[in-house]
Amino acid sequence: MRFEVKAVLVKQGTVRLELDADSEEEARRQITDQGGMVLSVRKKTSGFSISLKSKPNFPLVQFSQELLSLLTAGLSLVESIETLLDKEQDSGNRRVIQDLLARLYEGITFSHALETYPQAFPPLYIATVRASERTGDLPEALTRFITYQTQMDFVRKKLVGASIYPVLLLIVGLLVSVFLLIFVVPKFSAIYEDIGADLPWLSVLLIKWGQFVHDQGLELAIAALIVFAGMFYAVTRPSFRVYVLQLLWRIPAIGEHMRVYQLARFYKTLGMLLRGGIPITQALEMVSGLLQAHFQPRVKAAAEHIREGKTISSAMETEGLATAVGNRMLRVGERTGLMGDMMERIGNFHDEEIARWVEWTTKLIEPILMAVIGIVIGGIIILMYMPIFDLAGSIN
C-alpha cells in the first residue's frame, strides 16, 4: 500500500512524502527511524474512491482538563491516568489511555508515551509536555495548552457560526429557484404555449425553458446528476481546495484578512511554545506545518535569519510575517524579555481584528443575499404571471 506522510525531518523541516508500506504503523516507523516526527499519515487513494470511515476523535481538551484537575488535587501522573481509565466508558478512548498507562508502568516518559498515538495527541501537545518534563511543571503546561486550544476553538466556532445563516439563506434561495424553474414553470408554459407571440421576450424565454424541461426532463436530470457528482468529487479533492484557497488569497479584501488569521494562529502557537521553554528556531519549525503552503518557506527563512543573529522582530518583518502592529509589539517583547507573552497578545489582537471583520461582513452579506434572492424569485414569479396580466389587459 502507498501512504501520503506529512512529517518534520532534520534539516528539511516540514515535508510531504509518499511511502510504500504494509500498514500505517510501518509508514510511521520509516519516518521515526530517520529521526523525524510524523504529523499525519493518510492512505493514498486513486480514482473516485471516497472514504466514509471517520477519524478517531479523542477528546483531547477534556482529557487535559481532567488530568490537570487530578494533578492539582495532589495525585501523581500514574494515579491520575489510572483514575481517567477507570471513569472512561468509550472503548476507543479506553484503549488509548490504557496504552499510555502501560508505557508509564514501563518507565517511559509521558511525552514518549503520547507519541504512540499521534492521531490523538498532536505534535504541539507532545512538545508542550516534553518541555514541561524539563521543568517538572506539567500542570502549568496543561493549563497553557488548554487555554490555547480553547481560544483557537472559540475563534473557529465563531467563524463557522457567522457563516451558517448566509449559507442556509443561499441554499434555501437556490432550492426555491430550482423548484420554480423545474416544476412550476413547465406547467405554466403548457398553458401559455399558444400565446407566446405577443409576450415580453423574458417571458417567452422562460416559457421556452419550461417547454425544454417538459420535453427533455430525463436527459436534464441525468446531466444535473453528473454535474453534482463532478462538483462533489472536486470538493473532496485536496488539490481543488488548494486552488480555491489560492483564488481567495488573490482577492485583496479577503486575502489580507486570511493572512491576518494565519498570523493570529502563528503567533498564538509560537507564544505557547516559547512560554513552554522551547527555543525559537525549534518552535518555528514546529509551527510552520500549521500554516498555508506559501507561508512555510517564509517561516524557514525567518528561522535561518534568527540563527544568523538577527532579532526576531527584524526576521519576521523581513519575511512578511508581521503586521505593523505586530512588529512593534515584537520589539517591545524583545526589550522586556517576555517574548512568549507578547506573541500571545499579538495573536489575541489579530483574533479581535478578524472577529470585527467577520461581524461586519456578515451584517453586510445577509441583506445583500436576501435582496438578490428576492429579486431572482420575484422576477421568476412576475415573468410567469406576465402573460395573465397581458390577457387581462387585452380583455379589458
In a domain, 127, yes or no: no
User: Do residues 24 and 163 share a domain?
Assistant: no
In a domain, 130, yes or no: no
For residue 50, what pLDDT is reported?
38
User: Do residues 85 and 204 share a domain?
Assistant: no
Q: What helix, strand, coil percent values describe the chain, rounded to 5?
A: 75, 5, 20
User: Do residues 232 and 354 share a domain?
Assistant: yes
User: Do residues 337 and 392 share a domain?
Assistant: yes
Residue 160, C-beta contacts closer than 8 angstroms, at least 6 positions apart: none
pLDDT surpasses 50 at 53: no
What is the CATH number for 151?
1.20.81.30
Residue 144, C-beta contacts closer than 8 angstroms, at least 6 positions apart: 128, 272, 275, 276
* Interval 357-384: pLDDT, tens: 888 887 888 888 888 888 888 887 877 7
Q: How far apart are CA 372 and CA 366, in angstroms?
A: 10
What is the CATH number for 11?
3.10.20
In a domain, 269, yes or no: yes
Name the pTM for this structure. Answer: 0.60
User: Do residues 157 and 211 share a domain?
Assistant: yes
User: Do residues 100 and 160 share a domain?
Assistant: no
Q: The domain containing residue 96 runs over which residues?
A: 60-121
Q: How far apart are CA 31 and CA 106, in angstroms?
A: 24
273 burial level (CB within 10 Å; 0-12, 13-18, 19+): buried
* Interval 123-176: pLDDT, tens: 778 877 887 877 677 888 888 788 877 877 777 777 777 778 888 888 888 888
Instruction: Tell me which amino acid residue 73 is.
Output: A
Structurally, the chain folds into a number of domains equal to 3
In a domain, 49, yes or no: no
User: Do residues 257 and 335 share a domain?
Assistant: yes
User: Do residues 365 and 270 share a domain?
Assistant: yes
